[in-house]
Structure 1
């Protein structure tokens, strides 16, 4: 049996729309076994236990690329990453499925080839790249090739995820985005994402609140999340370094100085009075990425 662990991811990081993402120490674990025939699932809701399952579809894409014919497949799923919350659940399934299939087929594909294939399945690399490689990643796709580089973040940051009890699909989140943007908004985001990367690398954390501002997606997607503006303001009032949507939402990611224990309790108290249920997780960046256990 082959066991693959894949971390959660938080993409965009404010202004880094569709190009920035980081891995967090929250994991899905997938176990794979080639069996005599058929397709079996364990730890999966019945509605997803079929050939349309994203993990299995990703495995098939990998087998097709390699030219391997599996007799049958058994997949066991142990989920920590919540589904449709903006924490890379789909990316974890894609990366886990491809790595599992590659291992069954004898480890034919390189890490770079796995990333290319995962991006083909996902459509863009901002979640699959950090899920596979760990850390914080800048990744773009051009002419069907993925170009990426890992950012070395200075020590001293703490990550919080504020996870609501409702889901928000990527399709719905993308449907509210404008077809075109003003030139000044493009310039605004180019400046912020450049400052964000420099501040994280150099440890200039006091710049993060300004650097994590965005004009491309958050103001549109925030309207789909009840209480988003109030939560964002409360986090800022509590002195956090930066606050932004995780991926397409509805999870909100917060950056704070490591060792500031006051934030966790106070934001929990604030969220408890809202109409929806929210769970606050204190997380660290995962530097390792997906790995075979």
Structure 2
């Protein structure tokens, strides 16, 4: 069987730990019965031998599989990764979601996506990445009584995601440490109002509102200072017609949305201005995690 999980972009500016959406950039794992345990890895992370020996996917999969089946079997795991590691595109959430989904699927147990999402919450305490990884599309999510409460909406085919992936990461741990200990009332109200407006713009498909609604005063400027060229990436995207441009998660990827007619021009300009960064234009993913037998 083959399990596929999309990349995700979280926060989307002001929606700190709350807003997220899924992008058609996938990690896939193919699982086959085997006489002995084996792992192969292609794509992102394939040059990192530690991932084969200390694989978070295998650890989570084994925990769930042993609990579900109460037996020990060997499998061959073949990973094909498109999601860059430690770049703010939800690579950890993709691993968690695919590992849990795989354990259920290998036993032939159908699991509702809401249950899968809440099981993933034990490994990822914030719902902004795991929710779109499971559900696809655009999501507003919060945690109440150890359960994810969310509203999901499909993204239209008329829009493209443009991601600029730097050649180095921003540590999530360091990115959180860079944030202020306290915020002013004005900055707090600014983010609440803009996050609310941004969610409303996505739900109502008022795309012209995204540029204003995606402004943030809580985290982006503090994190982007660790890689100052990101400010220029953001300005370039917006100047060339992006509807919004924000730090993806805690970085270092810069995420933009554009109409299809503008996406190619924006992608071309970003590649020209930042040749040392990887620039990709992708559709949005409305399926979330999928399992194919």
Shared fold per TM-score greater than 0.5: yes
Aligned-partner Cα distance in 1 for 2:223–2:180: 11
Name which of structure 1's ranges 152-161 and 191-200 shifts more when overlaid on structure 2.
152-161
Q: Call closer, same or farther: CA 1:32–1:152 in 2, change over 3 Å.
A: closer
User: Per-residue CA shift, 1:29-81, capped at 9, x if unaligned?
Assistant: 111234455x321115421223x411112213423653633323332110111
Aligned-partner Cα distance in 2 for 1:87–1:259: 24
Query: Gaps (5+ residues) in structure 1?
Result: none
Q: Does the CA-based 8 Å contact 1:58-1:121 persist in structure 2?
A: no
Deviation of the 1:178 alpha carbon: 2.1
Q: Does the CA-based 8 Å contact 1:12-1:19 persist in structure 2?
A: yes
Deviation of the 1:213 alpha carbon: 0.4
- Give aligned pairs, total: 286
- Show the counterpart of 2:115: 113
- Show the counterpart of 1:23: 22
Query: Gaps (5+ residues) in structure 2?
Result: none
- Show the counterpart of 1:41: 39
Q: Which residue of the other structure, out of 98, 103, 112, is the alignment partner of 2:100?
A: 98
Name which of structure 1's ranges 96-105 and 145-154 shifts more when overlaid on structure 2.
145-154
User: Per-residue CA shift, 1:137-156, capped at 9, x if unaligned?
Assistant: 11111221111110344563
- Show the counterpart of 1:211: 213
Q: Does the CA-based 8 Å contact 1:8-1:81 persist in structure 2?
A: yes
User: Per-residue CA shift, 1:96-119, capped at 9, x if unaligned?
Assistant: 111111112231543222111111
Name which of structure 1's ranges 250-259 and 148-157 shifts more when overlaid on structure 2.
148-157
Give the TM-score taking structure 2 as reference length.
0.91
Aligned-partner Cα distance in 2 for 1:180–1:69: 50
Q: Call closer, same or farther: CA 1:123–1:238 in 2, change over 3 Å.
A: same
- Secondary structure of the 1:292 match is strand
Q: Does the CA-based 8 Å contact 1:154-1:200 persist in structure 2?
A: no
Q: Does the CA-based 8 Å contact 1:66-1:108 persist in structure 2?
A: no
